[in-house]
Amino acid sequence: MNVVLMHGKNTDPSQKWYPWLASEMSARHVPYHAPTLPNTDEPFIDEWKSALNDSHPGQDTILIGHSRGGVAILRWLEDQPESSKVKRVILIAANSGLSKNRTIPDETNHGFYTDRGYDFAKIRSHCEEFFVLHSKDDQWVPYAHGIENSESLHAELLTFEDRGHFGKGVNEIPELLKLIS
């Protein structure tokens, strides 16, 4: 088993709860990779999918995506050949794929959101185990996006009341460790 973390927009692997996860994976001797994604202030989906591809996810890989990083994982899965599989996908405060549901309508898109949203059937064909973690007080991505993603992916939804966007102030997510083991 190995773990790949795709971080969110306007950040890098040295911030938020990401260093805690790296430390926990190291302590458990789990191979872990968290690429520093390019252009985090103005991300392009093709660049982020390429960074994920460079991590060489396979059937023993657990993909963890926070916020826009979760969008990148789902878009990457949409593009995979039929034979490509990953072990598990864990989305944390991940956005809806629908353009009309964008939280900040005038924010640039660069391929993350489309009028049709995600191709959930294609995404599910590449993974059988999905988990969605979302907090009802998320100030950036509405809780409804977590519900939409969990229902459409046939995922288990872990609901929180007070984690916001799992950003600043959230230095660890102990519940995540149970989903990785």
Lowest mean pLDDT among 18-32, 105-119, 148-162, 165-179: 105-119
**CA separation for the pair 86, 174 (Å, rounded):** 23
Mean pLDDT value of segment 99-112: 82
Nearest-10 crossing angle of helices 68-78, 45-53: 70
Phi, psi of 46 (to 5 degrees): -65, -35
CA angle (64, 9, 51) in 5-degree steps: 60
The count of other CB atoms within 10 Å of the CB of residue 69 is 30
Unique residue bearing structure tokens 């794929």: 97
pLDDT for res 58: 97
pLDDT for res 99: 87
Q: How far from 45 is each of 2, 110, 115, 153, 161, CA to CA, in Å?
A: 23, 6, 15, 20, 30
Cα 152 to its chain centre, rounded Å, is 15
Tell me if the pTM is above 0.85.
Answer: yes
Rg of the Cα atoms in the chain: 15
pLDDT digit string, tens, across residues 170-179 = 999 999 999 9
- The contacts of residue 71 (CB under 8 Å, 6+ apart) are 45, 65, 94, 95, 97, 112, 113
Mean pLDDT value of segment 37-57: 97
Between residues 58 and 101, the one the model is more confident about:
58
The count of other CB atoms within 10 Å of the CB of residue 30 is 14
Whether the pLDDT of residue 56 is over 80: the answer is yes
pLDDT for res 77: 98
**CA separation for the pair 3, 146 (Å, rounded):** 22
CB 93 within 8 A of CB 147: no
As beta bridge partners, residue 92 has: 66, 133
Q: Return the percentage of the chain with pLDDT > 70, whole number.
A: 100
pLDDT digit string, tens, across residues 128-139 = 999 999 999 999
CB 18 within 8 A of CB 49: no
Whether the pLDDT of residue 72 is over 80: the answer is yes
- Spell out the domains of the chain, with CATH numbers in brackets: 2-180 (3.40.50.1820)
